[in-house]
Amino acid sequence: MRKLFLYTCLSTLAFSSLAQTKPKTAAPATTTLNTPNRPKLVVGIVVDQMRWDYLYRYYDRYKADGGFKRFLQQGFTAENTLIPYTPTITACGHTCIYTGSVPAVHGITGNAWWDKEQQRSVYCTEDKTVKSVGTTGVNGEMSPRNMLTNTICDELRLATNFRSKVVGIAIKDRGGILPAGHSANAAYWYDSKTGDWITSTYYMNDLPQWVKDFNAKKVVDKYYALDWNLMYPKETYVQSTADEMPWEGKSFGADQKGFPYDLKKFIGKNYGAIASTPYGNSMTADMAKAAVINEQLGADDIPDFLAVSFSSPDYVGHSFGPNSIEQEDDFLRLDTTFGNLFNFLDQKVGKGQYLVFLSADHGVAHVPGFMKEHKLPGGLIEDDRWGKELAAGLKAKFNADKLITSTYNYQVHLNHHKLDSLELDKKSVIQYIVDYYNKQEGISRAFAINELMTVPLTAKQRDMMANGWYPRRSGDIQLVLQPGWIDGGATGTTHGIWNPYDAHIPMLFYGWGIKPGRTNRETYMTDIAPTIAALLHIQMPNGTVGKVVEEVLK
């Protein structure tokens, strides 16, 4: 009885104490949440083909008032950011950054793919239901409709009841269209046939006057008139191989073998060559600035979004390689371009009033010729030879031809309609192809994709390949290359596989709400969109698999 009495007293005392302290901690009934504080403008930057190590490879040569040191010294950097899927290719990368998702969910499995339902090759942004705007050709027949999820730009539009403006800009159509999302006010890309910036009827029926005025200036010819010479004396480019290496491509003609490059000869004639020079970046920045001014992006308290992709490093890298003088000069100039862009935004939007993030859609492998010279493992896969040998072998074995429809994205796509009509055993055909590839130099392993979960692979490889597989747009057989090997030609290089040189990319934040800092823990490309969503206090995109990088918010 005494114990019961004591327990009752203690309980009463505790309740009384709780009742006395409650009014001090509880929010008044009339209190409401304030409107979330947001930047006036978000600028998303994707550098097409930027290895993470470029941040430090050229660090000593970046300007104090340039872009990269501003990111690294005044912003936040996630140093160990990886791509969580294969193939590491442009369209996939841009989509994953802005959706926070992977190809297995958003459906963009490559720059192009073999579509099993349509029984044809499909380009990632093709749309025959729309018309070109700003050009008479087919280069404008594009839209984001093949992307199955929305983007962070769409979510910002939803969060503000479509009062936020969203504009996408890139030389490559896929670099401007996919990031801007489905509900963008506009996306513009470059028509290499005319030298103009164009769009499609998905967005509008006529170009705005400011875009027409921009096109009338023929900015491309202005840059051609400058030629391409090095920013600094050639001997100072100690982080690069010598000029005029035999494994480098000839982007400007066989007669131009090294610096300086004569670009004047392209004036009024060849509008595509600009993409393979640093001036492609300069021209893109010019277009982005014009959009900020004329669309009044960041001009009021309703946040807007500018999604801009700098495509030229990809063209330069594919042709000359990551160890070339051309690519070093390209990034030194890009650093200046970014610095000028930030200075412009400081004036037009206001310092500290805009939020910027920067990442890359993929990295790149070293050129096989360069690897061979330095006794490093790697090599070149002659896929044409393989295709011919496979076709002949399948014909002899199964008495049928054209059983393979494509080898897109390091996968073999079978002609299922033909296999069914001929009543061929699919397992036998697949096994024949797998056995063939597993005998080839440069192939680590080949296997039927439906055996992905049982084939001996590292956990990282398995996860990346599973994240890249969307049934209607992916193949039947997966090819895994040995490290350092590429599928390409005698000159230049490429990207697309799981290895760190293709998958380790920068993740940088700068400006509004960002304090200087860094993390070395493993983060992913898909973490960018949810992190931006958390900073803006909006919903993350509807296919997001990434997580918020908490350190950025602290």
Residue with tokens 């442009």, as numbered in its chain: 90
pLDDT of 272 strictly over 50: yes
pLDDT digits (tens, 9 = 90+) for 135-152: 998 999 999 999 999 999
Q: Establish whether 135 is a catalytic residue.
A: no
Task: Quote the pLDDT of residue 72.
Answer: 98
Query: Once rounded to an integer, what is the mean pLDDT over residues 328-336?
Result: 98
Buried b (16+ CB within 10 A) or exposed e, 252-283: beeebeebebebebbbeebbbbbbbbbbbbbb
Confidence of residue 19 (pLDDT cuts 50, 70, 90): very low
- Token couple for 15: 């309740």
Average pLDDT of the residues in 88-116: 97
Residue 383: pLDDT band with limits 50, 70, 90: low
41-80 pLDDT tens trace: 999 999 999 999 999 999 999 999 999 999 999 999 999 9
Between 90-99 and 528-536, two packed helices, what is the crossing angle to 10 degrees?
30
Round to whole Å and give the CA distance between 155 and 216: 34
Band of the pLDDT at 31, cuts 50, 70, 90? Answer: very low
Span 455-489, pLDDT tens digits = 999 999 999 999 999 999 999 999 999 999 999 88
Domains of the chain in start order, with CATH, are: 43-330+343-373+498-553 (3.40.720.10), 379-482 (3.30.1360.150)
Residue carrying the six token digits 């036998």: 428
Number of other residues whose CB lies within 10 A of the CB of residue 385: 10
Amino acid at 339: G
> What does the alpha-carbon distance between residue 223 and residue 472 come to, in Å, rounded to a whole number?
43
What is the structure's pLDDT at 35? 57
Residue from 90, 241, 284, 544 carrying the catalytic annotation:
90
Strand, coil or helix: what is 423? coil
The pLDDT assigned to 5 comes to 38
pLDDT for the residue numbered 387: 86
Q: Which of 280, 278, 378 is nearest to 324 (CA)?
A: 278
pLDDT confidence of residue 152: 98
Chain centroid offset of residue 511 CA: 21
For residue 257, name the pLDDT band (cuts at 50, 70, 90): confident
Residue where the block lists tokens 């040569």: 61
